[in-house]
A = this chain, B = another copy of it.
Amino acid sequence: MQVSVLKQLRLFNQINADLKRIENELIKFVKNSEYPLITDSATHLLAAGGKRLRPAFALLSGKIYGYQIEKLMPIAMALELIHMASLVHDDVVDASATRRGKPTVRANWGNTISMATGDYLLAKSLGLIAMINNPQVSRILAETSVQMSQGEIQQIRASFDVNQSIKQYYYRIKRKTALLISASCKLGALVSGAPKREIWALGAYGHSLGIAFQIVDDILDLTADQQVLGKPIGGDLRQGIMTLPMIIALKTSEQKSRLRALLAKVDKTEDEILEAIELIKQTKGIEESRRLVDRYIKKAKNYLLELPASPTRNALADLAEFVGERKY
């Protein structure tokens, strides 16, 4: 459902055919004739979809300048592979967190296979980066990868930690989400011959948008219609991920100590999850977070003013609106 809604958006019209090509190439690229198991797990991950936002950002950024799909394709693919690898390694972290009390044999084997699949996807992205053979591209992706691995460590340390600050929260989501989206915009522009100042502006746009995107994720995990979201809400609570609405609620709730106890608890019952959501909703946590989303979306759109006016610039502004308003 997610992909089809995105496809309906006017803003994707200009890149839809190329996104489809990237999709097909990705599926071919992760196949491994020697090793069916790894093909299966990687293909499964790909097929599970996702919005392919990072390739879309790279292509749209390229559209403003000298768009050449042959140059953009390996970058868009590498970005998506890095994203998928980070997702699957995050799953290991989060699964360990939720299963702290009772890890199972299967869970553990699943974790090692997930780790190895992530390593494989990362290694495959290296091949693409080598093919691109542009030192600036390599440097940006290397620097992003280092920061992302720091976000991973922070995620391990911060889970179930009810004392973490908003600053620590931003540290984490910058590394887990914003930097790769920012890199997608920058790289799309860079290989399409954008001027330096505009590469910077697109990077700043992607960064602000990425922060907003993550905060929206946090809000949806507490408020979404489960049917629309496609998964049960409260996932962050279960996995011990402290999100922005939670951190604000922890500071302002009238039942602070009860909320603290609930959020810090490792194996929450379903009733406790519903109670925690209720307590958070009684605070201004969600409203405040919503306000911050709007601020970051506005910031993102402002950076676009550095770019020449064009239909694609408008599409990027629409995309920012969409991220701010999405319901899934």
| CB < 8 Å neighbour of A35 from B32, B35, B143, B153 | B153
Q: Give A105's nearest chain B residue, CB to CB.
A: B100
> With the chains together, A312 CA to B126 CA distance in Å?
32
By the criterion CB–CB under 8 Å, are A123 and B138 in contact? no
A125 to chain B, nearest CB (A): 9
A176 to chain B, nearest CB (A): 12
Q: Which of A88-96, A182-190, A223-231, A315-323 contacts B (4 or more CB under 8 A)?
A: A88-96
A48 to chain B, nearest CB (A): 19
Let me know if A124 is at the binding interface, CB within 8 A: yes
Q: Give A139's nearest chain B residue, CB to CB.
A: B130
> With the chains together, A141 CA to B104 CA distance in Å?
36
By the criterion CB–CB under 8 Å, are A133 and B130 in contact? no
A129 to chain B, nearest CB (A): 7
Q: Which of A30-51 contact B (CB under 8 A)?
A: 32, 34-35, 37-38
Q: Which of A144-152, A279-287, A301-309 contacts B (4 or more CB under 8 A)?
A: A144-152
By the criterion CB–CB under 8 Å, are A108 and B96 in contact? yes
| CB < 8 Å neighbour of A123 from B119, B127, B146, B156 | B146
> With the chains together, A117 CA to B152 CA distance in Å?
9
By the criterion CB–CB under 8 Å, are B142 and A138 in contact? no
* Residues in B neighbouring A152, C-beta threshold 8 A: 115-116, 119-120
By the criterion CB–CB under 8 Å, are B153 and A120 in contact? yes
By the criterion CB–CB under 8 Å, are B156 and A116 in contact? yes
Q: Give A152's nearest chain B residue, CB to CB.
A: B116
Let me know if A16 is at the binding interface, CB within 8 A: no
By the criterion CB–CB under 8 Å, are B135 and A130 in contact? yes
Q: Give A135's nearest chain B residue, CB to CB.
A: B133
Let me know if A113 is at the binding interface, CB within 8 A: yes
By the criterion CB–CB under 8 Å, are A150 and B112 in contact? no
> With the chains together, A112 CA to B146 CA distance in Å?
17
* Residues in B neighbouring A143, C-beta threshold 8 A: 127
By the criterion CB–CB under 8 Å, are A123 and B96 in contact? no
A138 to chain B, nearest CB (A): 4
| CB < 8 Å neighbour of A99 from B108, B131, B139, B149 | B108
Would A112 and B126 be within 8 Å (CB), given that A150-B35, A150-B120 are in contact?
no
A residues whose Cβ falls under 8 Å from a Cβ of B: 32, 34-35, 37-38, 89, 92-93, 96, 99-101, 103-105, 108-109, 111-113, 115-117, 119-120, 122-124, 126-127, 129-131, 133, 135, 138-139, 141-143, 145-146, 148-150, 152-154, 156-157
29 contacts between A and B (CB under 8 A): A37-B153, A37-B157, A38-B149, A89-B116, A92-B111, A93-B116, A96-B112, A100-B108, A101-B105, A103-B103, A103-B104, A103-B105, A108-B108, A112-B156, A115-B115, A116-B152, A116-B153, A116-B156, A117-B153, A120-B153, A123-B149, A124-B146, A126-B126, A126-B146, A127-B143, A130-B135, A130-B141, A133-B135, A138-B138
